[in-house]
Structure 1
Amino acid sequence: MVGTDIKPAPKIGLNATLSYTKGMGSIKDFFFASMYPTGDVKLDYNVSSLNPNMPYLYDVAYINGIQNYSNLDFSEFDFTFGATYRLTNTIGLGLHYFYDKFTDKEPYVYGDQGTEVQSVLGVLTYRF
């Protein structure tokens, strides 16, 4: 992330930021299967009296595809630019532009979450 805030004139202010984020991660089936062989071990008590299907819900032997569903590979690029102008000592105006691009390189459970968003924000400030 890098940013700047400059004042080219006494009543004018400019600012900009640039940010890039990269994320990756995954869970491997063999890790959980060896660590927690049954649901009873993880929960530390026998849950079959509460619900006969409960051990199957927590037993990793019955969870298919955890390795595929846990893959994360995304990047995010953000850019902002803003300008402010002070009309008087107490009143100011500002205009800000925001750009965000999120790239999902491993879409899985909810599909491709990649998106691109642009927005503009107008601001009226009052100092007291």
Structure 2
Amino acid sequence: MNIFAAIADPVRRSLLEQLAREGPTRVVDLTRGRGISRPAVSRHLRVLGDAGLVRAIDHGRERHFELVTDALAEVSNWTATLTAKSASAPQPPVAGHHLDALGLEVRRTVRERGTQPGTRHTAASSTATGEIA
């Protein structure tokens, strides 16, 4: 099974988290507090085992499951590529808050001069209105 499909289920992710926290654990202990049956937990563990994320260790009559951290390398590598891609994404030459400040200044200047945005304020138009350039 695909590792990403295996960790897509929230119950399986919580099983992995518990195994990471507690180490090798019996199915009965993994079932406690989950609100699902022991056979359901066993099915989830089988899926995780098929993906290579957990392995069963027999201790006499008991079977303990442990996390296989090496199997998580594929997930770590994938997230590392995403992180690297976002870190190397081209950044705009000017930060957005600077452009906002520029827009505010343009509106203020237009209001003070009484001109319409988009029209050019030239010496010819200034002399026509009586302003000195």
Fold agreement, TM-score > 0.5 = no
- Relative CO higher for 1 or 2, CA cutoff 8 Å, sep ≥ 6? 1
Which one has a bigger Cα radius of gyration? 2
Give TM-score scaled by structure 1 length.
Answer: 0.28
Q: When the two structures are superposed, what TM-score results if normalisation uses the length of structure 2?
A: 0.28
Q: Compare the two structures and name the one with the higher helix fraction.
A: 2
Higher strand share: 1
